[in-house]
Amino acid sequence: MKQSEAFLQCQSCKKILFSIDFDQNLRVCTYCGHHHRISAETRIKWTFDEDSFEELDTDLRSGNPLEFPDYIDKLRLAEEKTQKFDSMTVGRAKLAEMPVSIAVADFSFMGGSMGSVNGEKVTRALERGVKEKCPVIIFCASGGARMQEGLLSLMQMAKTTAAVQQCREAGIPYIAVFTDPTMAGVLASYASVADVIIAEPKALVGFAGARVSKQAGVSKVPDDFQTAEFCLKHGMIDTIVPRKEMRSVLISLVKTLGGHLFVEGGAK
Amino acid sequence: MSAKTHNEWESELIELEKFIVNAKERARKEQVASDKALLEDQIVKLEVGRDKFLKALYSNVGDWEKVLIARAEKRPYTLDYVTALFQDFVELQGDRNGFADNAIIGGPATFDGRPVMIVGHQKGRNIHERQFRNFAMAKPEGYRKAIRLFEMAERYQMPVISLVDTPAADPGVESESRGISEAIAASTMKMFELSVPSIAVIIGEGGSGGAIGIAAASRVLMLQYSVYSVIPPEGCAAILWRMPERGAEAARALKLTAESAQSFGLIDEILPEPIGGAHRTPIEAFATVKDAIVKHLAELDKMSPAEVRADRFAKFRKMGEFETVLF
């Protein structure tokens, strides 16, 4: 969004909004309801208990194992822009006093793409749930696997999916939230095998990106193709929840699905 | 300019072989004994030359050329391996939920005297077959059928053998509507649940999500000229440079070869192919694949069901390359 001092323009309907109103409305356009992309920090602040977040695994940083052209430059640029080593922010947080293990993606870091660091952080977040007996919540935002790490990225799909399997076996509820966009390698791995899948309104959700589809000769597509609404209609997600209701829906789910973890003496 | 197809890359060889066939036919028909002898003498020399050329061509195969070989029409496909290595194969079809897929095939069979479950991508050799197989691009029902077969393998304690050969999963509207992403993820996850041993062999193209859905196995083996990649090189070039025609360059950057996969610990063994590739001497390729599966199954047989699962989890858990920064 174009942001000046006091005004900005909605990315979707192009109407002019007051910056103060916009933030108060959780960066959702007051006219058209468009959910603008937000940083991991902002999302954590708006979703979990105040000051409950403890960030972990901040020491993991991508190398350039394949010596892929221009990869290091792109990485450094993203690191500078976001002051992070990866799009995934993980750690412990609380929801209405209930402990949860969380992973929150930030699309602005190289399109939230899943390379080795990203996959490792997601895996650790899921494993933390098992170890500390608390539900896992992952906010997804990704264009897919990170091409620049080649097959190593593809294997993150298997690694993260295996971690979900271990959550299931340990009776650890795992909730995925698809934010704009949740695509390809991320969608086709840990994101789609969550116990509960929530999406933000109008989020782009799909397997093949537009350029890949075009390459494969896919032409005519429905108007709502690859949107959260399309997924809901086709039974691929549980519900669409607007940003301002996200916290309360998550609290209800953690309370019910994670109930067995929070019985007296059972909570960590 | 890089060749675009395997036939194009092998074109000189193909020409030479055609010429040899013609020369042999000519020699057979030749009535004059001295001319016949001269022709036959030349044919022997041509064949020596052909063998040298073949060896030279295959002694230094580039990454892009591996892509071409992996995609070659003549290359043995899943059902060729099934016919050569397995007995009693009965193809089981359908996802039991309204759909059938012909890009992934599967069913029980006897291998080396024991029951196993086969799952594999199937390509087609002519336009009709290719359409029927959807170019080996499986739709959700393909992965859902695979899940059904994995469950059956677990129920009857049969090892799973998967043969991977797909450019990618089907990216169309139908597939999105029926949840291709979920189907792939669920199939991958099902493979981790198995307490029976599983072996995946990349026999041609290991195309991204479409491959991993049936490749999360206890052991992953790659034929020498097969490729395994997070994205088809043309797709990578389309995204990076918006120029799909730069596939050869992208193939090199993606490091999609068996050697690279092994160097990062992502596969367990490279299976050498005969000179000229698996398509030139399929019988040798079949024997190599069979011996490798027998060997790895024997190792996995020593494990308890719990160990098989733990071993598989541990194997994939280690995958990834990153630095740890000290603050």
Q: pLDDT tens digits, residue range A169-193?
A: 999 999 999 999 999 999 999 999 9
pLDDT on residue A266: 47
Residues B193 and B154 sit within 8 Å (Cβ to Cβ): yes
pLDDT digits (tens, 9 = 90+) for B224-276: 999 999 999 988 888 888 888 888 999 999 999 999 999 999 999 999 999 99
CA angle B189, B192, B196 (to 5 degrees): 135
Clarify whether residues A89 and A167 are in a common domain. yes
Say yes or no: A87 and A202 in one domain.
yes
Tell me: do A123 and A150 sit in the same domain: yes
Rounded to the nearest angstrom, the minimum Cα separation between B184 and chain A is 6
The partner residue sitting opposite A150, judged by closest CB among B235, B254, B325, is: B254
Of B186, B232, B319, the CB nearest to A155: B319
String of DSSP letters for B180-193: HHHHHHHHHHHHHH
For chain B, state the CA radius of gyration: 22
pLDDT at residue A220 above 90?
no
Q: Rounded mean pLDDT of chain B?
A: 94
Stretch (H or E) spanning B106 = strand B104-111
What is the spatial distance between Cα B265 and Cα B321, in angstroms, rounded to a whole number?
10
Q: Is residue B207 pLDDT above 70, yes or no?
A: yes
List Cβ neighbours of A50 (8 Å cut-off, separation of 6 or more).
Answer: none
Residue A72 located in a structural domain? yes
Distance CA A47, CA A53 (A): 10
Which of A62, A193, A212 shows the shortest C-beta gap to B189?
A193
Q: In Å, how far are B48, B225, B277, B318 from B58, measured between CA atoms?
A: 15, 10, 8, 33
Cβ separation B319–A68 shorter than 8 A: no
Written as six digits, the tokens of A215 are 């390459």
Q: Do A190 and B173 touch (CB under 8 A)?
A: no
Q: Is the pLDDT of residue B137 over 60?
A: yes
The answer to whether the CB of A143 falls within 8 A of the CB of A181 is: yes
Q: Report pLDDT for A213.
A: 67
CB-count burial class (<10 Å; 0-12, 13-18, 19+) for B106: buried
pLDDT at residue A268 is higher than 50: no
Q: What pLDDT does A211 receive?
A: 63
State whether A90 and A195 are in the same domain.
yes
Domain contains A156? yes
* Whether A127 and A214 share a structural domain: yes
A146 and A217 housed in the same domain: yes
The nearest CA of chain B is from the CA of A236 a distance in Å of: 6
A240 and A154 part of one domain? yes
Residues of chain A neighbouring B185 (CB-CB closer than 8 A) = 157, 161, 187-193
User: What is the average pLDDT across B201-210?
Assistant: 96
Cβ atoms of residues A98 and A262 within 8 Å: yes
Q: Which two tokens stand for residue A216?
A: 């494969």
Inter-CA distances, A150 with A154, A157, B231, B254, Å: 7, 12, 8, 5
Whether pLDDT at A28 is above 60:
yes
Q: Is the pLDDT of residue B49 over 70?
A: yes
Q: What is the rounded CA–CA span in Å between residue A74 and residue A67?
A: 13
Query: What chain A residue is nearest to B215 in terms of C-alpha separation?
Result: A158
Give domain status of residue A180, yes or no: yes
CB nearest A207 (choices: B180, B232, B326):
B180
Q: Does a structural domain hold residue A266?
A: no
The Cβ of residue B236 has, within 10 Å, a number of other Cβ atoms equal to 27
Chain A interface test: which of B137, B147, B181 (most A C-beta within 10 Å): B181
User: Does the beta-carbon distance from A123 to B317 stay under 8 Å?
Assistant: yes
Residue in B closest to A225 by C-alpha = B173
| Residue A79: strand, helix, or coil | helix
Work out the pLDDT band at B34, boundaries 50, 70, 90: confident
Q: Quick check: B327 pLDDT over 80?
A: no
Q: Identify any residues that bridge with A94 across adjacent strands, giving them in sequence order.
A: A99
CB contact under 8 A, A60 and B323: yes
CA B94 to CA B101: how far, in whole Å? 7
ipTM of this complex prediction, to 2 decimal places:
0.93
**Are the Cβ atoms of B317 and A213 closer than 8 angstroms?**
no
Task: Calculate the average pLDDT of chain A.
Answer: 92
Domain match, A196 and A126 both: yes
- Shortest Cα–Cα distance, B326 to chain A (Å): 7
Q: CB–CB of A154 and B230 under 8 A?
A: yes
Residue A98 pLDDT > 50: yes
Number of H helices, E strands in chain A: 9, 11
Would you give the end-to-end CA distance of chain B in angstroms? 48
- Chain A residues touching B169 at Cβ < 8 A: 188, 207
What's the rounded Cα separation, in Å, for the pair B97 and B107? 18
Q: Which residue among B178, B236, B324 places its CB closest to the CB of A59?
A: B324
What's the pLDDT at A267?
A: 46
Q: Is residue A240 part of a domain?
A: yes
Residues A141 and A31 placed together within one structural domain of the fold:
no
**Band (B208; pLDDT cuts 50, 70, 90):** very high
Residue A268 belongs to some domain of the structure: no
The DSSP letter of residue B273 is P
A63 closest CB neighbour out of B211, B256, B321: B321
Instruction: Please tell me whether residues A20 and A42 are part of one structural domain.
Output: no
Low-confidence winner among A61-70, A149-158, B308-317 (lowest mean pLDDT): A61-70
Question: Which domain covers residue A166, as residue numbers?
Answer: 38-261
What pLDDT was estimated at residue B303? 98
**CB of A243 within 8 A of CB of A35?**
yes
State residue A152's pLDDT score.
97
DSSP code per residue over A94-126: EETTEEEEEEEE-TTTGGG-B-HHHHHHHHHHH
Does residue B111 surpass a pLDDT of 90? yes
Judging contacts by C-beta atoms under 8 Å, the chain A residues touching residue B182 are: 188, 192-193, 236
Mean pLDDT of A218-246: 91
Residues of A in contact with B233 (CB under 8 A): none
Cα of first residue to Cα of last residue in chain A, in angstroms, is 41
- Nearest CA to B256 out of B234, B286, B280 is that of B234
All residues of chain B having their beta carbon less than 8 Å from the beta carbon of residue A79 are none
Judge whether A267 lies within some domain: no
Split into its structural domains, chain A has a count of 2
Q: Which residue has the tokens 């395994």?
A: B228
In-domain check, residue A124: yes
Considering the domain architecture, whether residues A119 and A232 belong to the same structural domain is answered as yes
In 10 A of CB A1, how many CB atoms? 15
Collect contacts of A249-254 with beta carbons under 8 A, ≥24 apart.
A249/A198, A250/A47, A250/A95, A250/A137, A250/A175, A250/A177, A250/A198, A251/A95, A251/A96, A251/A98, A253/A135, A253/A173, A253/A175, A253/A196, A254/A95, A254/A96, A254/A98, A254/A100, A254/A135, A254/A137, A254/A173, A254/A175
Residues A53-62 as b or e (16 or more Cβ within 10 Å = b): bebbbeebbb
- Cα A187 to Cα A231: distance, rounded to the nearest angstrom: 12
Q: Which residues contact B79 (CB under 8 A, 6 or more apart)?
A: B105, B122
Of A193, A215, A234, the CB nearest to B238: A215
Which residues of chain B neighbour A159 with C-beta distances below 8 Å? 316-317, 319-320
Output Rg (C-alpha) for chain A, integer angstroms: 18
Cα B308 vs. chain centroid, distance in angstroms? 24
Contacts with A212 from chain B: Cβ below 8 Å: 171, 231, 235, 238-239
CB nearest to A59's CB, from B182, B228, B325: B325
Q: Which residue has better confidence, A11 or B160?
A: B160
Structure tokens, B128: 């009709």
Between CA B76 and CA B259 the distance in angstroms is 21
* CA–CA min distance B138, chain A (Å): 13
| Domain co-membership, A3 together with A94 | no
